[in-house]
Amino acid sequence: MYLVVRTYEQADPRFGEEGFRRVRDELVPILADIDGFVEYYSAFDRDRGTVTSISVYESKEAAEESNRVAVEWGEKNLAMMGSVHPTAWAGEILVGAEGLPKG
């Protein structure tokens, strides 16, 4: 499994509404169509003006393809909302946890 993290430095606070609507309605379906897609999350730090997304894929190739697709899509669809050139990296997941028991 591979984790992809992309961080976008945003100058325009409109991203929080319009940007996430576009990501949810347009980008996520494209990423989900990549063979090996597992899950996707995105968050907006309003204080710093940054958007960070996390995607999980079954293979390194799928993770790399998601970066290519996301950057290309952002250049076409989010340019008016700030930076479209994210800091991005992908790495193999070595530790993961879901629903750990409390205590």
Helices (H) and strands (E) counted in the chain, each on its own, are: 3, 4
Q: What is the pLDDT of residues 6-35, one digit of tens each?
A: 988 765 666 667 778 888 999 999 999 999
CB atoms within 10 A of CB 24: 12
Residue-range domain boundaries for the chain: 2-92
Domain at 2-92: CATH code: 3.30.70.100
DSSP 80: G
* Cβ density class 27-64: b for 16+ within 10 Å, e for less: bbeebeebebbeebebebeeeebbbbbebbbeeeebbb
Residue 55 binned pLDDT confidence (cut-offs 50, 70, 90):
very high
Render pLDDT for 62-75 as a digit per residue (tens, 0 to 9): 999 999 999 888 88
